[in-house]
Amino acid sequence: MSDDGQPAPGRGYRKGPVLLRGRQIPTTTSDQRLLSGPSGGAAWLHDDPWRVMRIQSEFVEGFGALAEVGPAVSVFGSARTRPGSPEYVVATEVARRLVEAGYAVITGGGPGIMEAANRGAKEAGGVSIGLGIELPFEQGMNDWVDLGVNFRYFFARKTMFVKYSEGFIVLPGGFGTLDELFEALTLVQTHKVIEFPIVLVGRAHWQGLLDWITGPVVAAGLISPVDRELIQVVDTAEDAVRVVLERGAELRAAEEAATAQAEAAQEAADAASDEP
């Protein structure tokens, strides 16, 4: 299946580094087995510690594979989007412009918008990355991925998106896309990560969600009005990449200013300590 639960033809089922086909494909995923409660007995006492080792290996593999990709931006969107559709074309253009600006492109590695972004990155001569996930009847990595990493666990995969991305560009999508969007928003709002750019592409598609956020959600005091400013909305690939570049420049300037301030403070402290 795709990330949003749609049946999709595949090349087998990946369980970490293992490829399974036919009757070897399990009926549950690693996430299901991890999150299921004890079903009687104490077998979970023996199974869960080994799962910790698998989880650790996923982080090690992911960190090792992505550590040297350089600056990157994640592009999210529906697995259902058809080649040649307006959204597919925009995603391809977004990725091409990101590569021209010096970024690698990271997607979930599947079809639809993910394929379009990987295609745009590869055709532009950039680094095209896919972070796949273990799902029943998984569709496999799309053919435009140059660097692919498959994960058993969603939370390990999400960590890689956040750790190695300097921004998120989000095109129309379903539950999986919304999950990734709100994960990023929550991390930025709670200051768990720096305020990297989060850009929604397609104002007509996203307007209903934005009206709900700025209307009932703000009115009920569930978020602050300023939180809406964490999201930028555009209609073109050019504007999406421009927002990423402008925010990246702001963050670099702020970091350089903070570094200079810290160095000046240290020099002043050193000078004061040298005085008799």
Judge whether residue 138 has pLDDT over 80. no
Q: Distance between CA 126 and CA 105 in Å, rounded?
A: 8
pLDDT at res. 189: 94
Residue 46 phi, psi (nearest 5): -95, -30
Q: What share of the chain is helix, strand, coil (3-state, %, to 5)?
A: 55, 15, 35
Band (18; pLDDT cuts 50, 70, 90): low
110-114, 166-170, 258-262: range with lowest mean pLDDT = 258-262
Query: How does pLDDT run across 168-225, given as a tens digit for each residue?
Result: 999 999 999 999 999 999 999 999 988 999 999 999 999 999 999 999 999 999 999 9
Q: Distance between CA 120 and CA 105 in Å, rounded?
A: 9
pLDDT at res. 7: 44
pLDDT at res. 2: 40
Judge whether residue 31 has pLDDT over 70. no
In this prediction the pTM is 0.81
pLDDT at res. 247: 92
Band (6; pLDDT cuts 50, 70, 90): very low
What is the fold of 60-257? Rossmann fold (3.40.50)
More confident residue, 60 or 9: 60
Q: Distance between CA 107 and CA 228 in Å, rounded?
A: 25
pLDDT at res. 261: 86
pLDDT at res. 38: 57
Judge whether residue 267 has pLDDT over 60. yes
Which helix (H) or strand (E) segment holds residue 213: the answer is none
Lookup: tokens for 246: 């402008």
Q: Distance between CA 142 and CA 134 in Å, rounded?
A: 14
Q: Distance between CA 202 and CA 19 in Å, rounded?
A: 37
Q: In this structure, what is the dihedral angle of CA atoms 26, 30, 36, 42, given to the nearest 10 degrees?
A: 90
Q: What is the mean pLDDT of the chain?
A: 86
Q: How far is CA 81 from CA 6, 111, 134, in A?
A: 12, 8, 21
pLDDT at res. 66: 94
Sign of CA dihedral 186, 187, 192, 197: negative
Q: How far is CA 54 from CA 17, 194, 217, in A?
A: 11, 29, 39
pLDDT at res. 19: 67
pLDDT at res. 257: 86
Query: How does pLDDT run across 58-97, given as a tens digit for each residue?
Result: 999 999 999 999 999 999 999 999 999 999 999 999 999 9
Band (33; pLDDT cuts 50, 70, 90): low
Name the percent of the chain lying above pLDDT 90: 63
